[in-house]
Chains A and B, each alone.
Chain A
Amino acid sequence: MGMTMTEKILARHAKRQNAHAGDNIWVDVDILMTHDVCGPGTIGIFHKEFGPKAKVWDREKVVIIPDHYIFTDDQHAHRNIDLLRDFVKEQDLPYYYDVGTDKYKGVCHIALPEEGHTRPGEVLFGTDSHTCTAGAFGEFASGIGNTDAAFILGTGKLWVKVPQTMRFEFEGPLPPYLMAKDLILHIIGDIGVDGATYRAMEFAGDGVMSLSIEERMTLCNMVIEAGGKNGVIPTDAVTEEFVKSKTAKLYEPVSDDPDARFHSVRRYKTAEIEPTVAKPHSPDNKGTARESAGTKLDRAYIGSCTGGKLNDFLAAAKILKGQRVKADTYIVPATTEVARGLGTTMHDGETLLDIFQKAGAKVSQGASCAACLGGPSDTFGRLNRSEVCISTTNRNFPGRMGSKTAQVYLASPYTVAASAITGEITDPREFL
């Protein structure tokens, strides 16, 4: 019986000929990533279980990226960064991206590929549910908790139940008003927030393979919003070109066997999909931007691991160029590299940064998760009251971006930018 990409990667890392959906196996981990929210707890368990003098299994395979609570006066948050620093020193870890230094990056899921830590055919675990983003590079990537992460730190291994794969094929390149965010919101609306629980979601078809690497990351990023274990996209020239530009490490891509067994296959025609929104308070509460048109907004937010990449800001800038925003608009670059890109990337003779500032948007000085998950009450862009917000982020459960009385609509950077201008939900085709 043939294997899916996910089954093949897991089989290889368990040193087995075969692995099939339902098998419980122990796999060798290539990269373990943690951050400032879950790192301290993970380190605590590691020391408790393996002893105060224990060493991590492989210092080259541990990546620590503080990103969540960075630009805040919260003293506990600062203490947590200190705990990471102490651990990095004690273990002499080479891949630590410290706050307040040139190495500081910002949002971990965007920093990982920028720093060459995502490679086809590998197994990546991270103490963050959006670790699935890295499936865009043709690898197995999944989120775990502190206990599992501490176990990996000490042993380099973790047990995995091999997931079934749901395959999603998109036919036709994206029309100029659609982005990967529309596709994934569409899927989540179809299958529900638990529609892929315990399963892999594989994205394929010429519509997907014509996407840039950043757009592919958006697709895999929101797999967790459908309950998925991992998202994955076949490796092609686009993947390899990106990965080779970031790392000299060798890797071995995998592909589906022709007779691989899938849980299900769904086919979509991109031309039939509309700019999509997820209405409050669930990512599967699907509607089109047109249906929600006219909904009054207090705020627009462009940022996060889902919608805070350079490509997302370029899309927003195309719409915001020469316009003024009516809703309070917050721009938060995911990483320092993206932040630099805002100042150097041009659209129509102007930098993205100039376009945003002239439009009246507030641009964050720092790269981080910021208000995507609410955070401490002094967090940039946090919803502290019953605001109505449209956002390029990934979750809109009650209280996700701060106040539990706020209402959050999720949408693509095009739709968010168009809505920011009018102060109400707007189909981006009106500006494109």
Chain B
Amino acid sequence: MQDVIRGKAYVLGNNIDTDQIIPAKHLVYSLSDPEESKKYGTYALSGLPDAVAGLPQGNIKFVPDGEYRSPYHILLAGKNFGCGSSREHAPAALQIAGVTAVVAESYARIFYRNAVDGGFLLPFESELPLVAETQTGDELEIAISAGELKNLTRATTHRLRPIGDVLEIVKAGGLFSYARASGMLKS
């Protein structure tokens, strides 16, 4: 696991549910076919109402039309990120679009678990709400072992909560690698 993650922020509010992350009508595509699964990148976060797509100004496309990679690699969100359905397509779609980490105030548990067990992205929690003081496009840097988030655009530093119970799974890169490394599964 790399210790420093850098990327442009895409800022979201509270209760971003999995239908906004990847609308249900797109769930028909294959996740294992590398070509077909790019569609998940294309439609990642396409369920957001326009006014709240990329705070504070809104109306910012997460993925440019016709592409499947987003210029924003870190999501910064409020409370209860990823609530709603259990679809693993949600963290997968974000990963396919190029997201490497989410920093939210809190998560819905199935999304969090899927993100960690599937090794799709790193879900961090900020100690304080950061949505109001971050703008979509800000350059962010996460220092994992230091537990810090730096906003390079605004020259501010914020604390992240320790990863806690699932640290070993996160470090291993997902549930299967963890189970193999710990001898639970034969490789």
Q: Do A and B bind each other?
A: yes
Query: CB within 8 Å of B: which residues of A?
Result: 24, 26, 37-38, 40-41, 44-45, 48-49, 68-69, 74, 76-77, 79-80, 126-129, 131, 143-148, 151, 154-155, 159, 161, 193-194, 197-198, 224, 227, 229, 282, 373-377, 395, 397-400, 404-405
Give the 6 A-B CB pairs with smallest separation, nearest first.
A76-B28, A145-B88, A145-B114, A44-B32, A143-B86, A194-B80
| B84 proximity list for chain A (CB < 8 A) | 129, 395, 397, 400
| B31 proximity list for chain A (CB < 8 A) | 40-41, 44, 146
A6 to B103 Cα, complex, angstroms: 31
B118 touches A374 (CB 8 A): no
| B47 proximity list for chain A (CB < 8 A) | 398-399, 404
A373 touches B15 (CB 8 A): no
Is B179's beta carbon under 8 Å from chain A?
A: yes
Is B110's beta carbon under 8 Å from chain A?
A: yes
Within 8 Å by CB of B83, from A128, A227, A375, lies A227
| B176 proximity list for chain A (CB < 8 A) | 49, 147, 151
A147 touches B117 (CB 8 A): yes
Within 8 Å by CB of A145, from B27, B80, B113, lies B113
What is the minimal beta-carbon distance from B181 to any residue of chain A, in angstroms? 14
- Taking A76-B29, A146-B118, A397-B84 as contacts, is the C-beta distance between A197 and B108 under 8 angstroms? yes
Within 8 Å by CB of B88, from A49, A147, A193, A373, lies A147
A194 touches B83 (CB 8 A): yes
A40 touches B30 (CB 8 A): yes
What is the minimal beta-carbon distance from B110 to any residue of chain A, in angstroms? 6
- Taking A128-B86, A373-B85 as contacts, is the C-beta distance between A197 and B117 under 8 angstroms? no
A396 to B49 Cα, complex, angstroms: 13
A129 to B24 Cα, complex, angstroms: 14
| B175 proximity list for chain A (CB < 8 A) | 147-148, 151, 159
B24 touches A374 (CB 8 A): yes
> Who on chain B is nearest to A282 by CB?
B15
State how many residues of chain B have any CB contact under 8 Å with chain A: 42
Count A-B pairs with CB separation below 8 Å. Answer: 144
A41 to B184 Cα, complex, angstroms: 23
A198 to B107 Cα, complex, angstroms: 10
B58-97 vs A: 1/0 string, CB under 8 Å? 0000000000000000000001100111111101000000
B174 touches A193 (CB 8 A): no
A400 touches B19 (CB 8 A): yes
What is the minimal beta-carbon distance from A185 to any residue of chain B, in angstroms? 16
Interface of B is mostly: loop
A74 to B117 Cα, complex, angstroms: 30
A26 to B175 Cα, complex, angstroms: 13
What is the minimal beta-carbon distance from A142 to any residue of chain B, in angstroms? 8
A69 touches B28 (CB 8 A): yes
| A49 proximity list for chain B (CB < 8 A) | 176
> Who on chain B is nearest to A49 by CB?
B176
A129 to B89 Cα, complex, angstroms: 13
B86-126 with Cβ < 8 A to chain A: 86-89, 91, 106-110, 113-114, 117-118
- Taking A48-B32, A148-B117 as contacts, is the C-beta distance between A375 and B24 under 8 angstroms? yes
A154 to B17 Cα, complex, angstroms: 30
B86 touches A197 (CB 8 A): no
| A155 proximity list for chain B (CB < 8 A) | 179, 184-185
What are 10 contact pairs spanning A and B, CB under 8 A?
A37-B87, A44-B31, A48-B32, A126-B86, A144-B114, A145-B86, A145-B88, A145-B113, A145-B118, A374-B25
> Who on chain A is nearest to B111 by CB?
A145
Is B162's beta carbon under 8 Å from chain A?
A: no
Besides A145-B110, A397-B20, 4 more A-B contacts (Cβ < 8 Å) are A147-B114, A147-B118, A147-B174, A373-B85
Within 8 Å by CB of B25, from A38, A145, A148, A375, lies A375
A144 to B184 Cα, complex, angstroms: 20
Interface-central residue, B32, B106, B109, B185, by most chain A CB under 10 Å: B109
B1-59 with Cβ < 8 A to chain A: 15, 17, 19-20, 23-25, 27-32, 47-49
A197 touches B109 (CB 8 A): yes
What is the minimal beta-carbon distance from B32 to any residue of chain A, in angstroms? 4
What is the minimal beta-carbon distance from B80 to any residue of chain A, in angstroms? 4
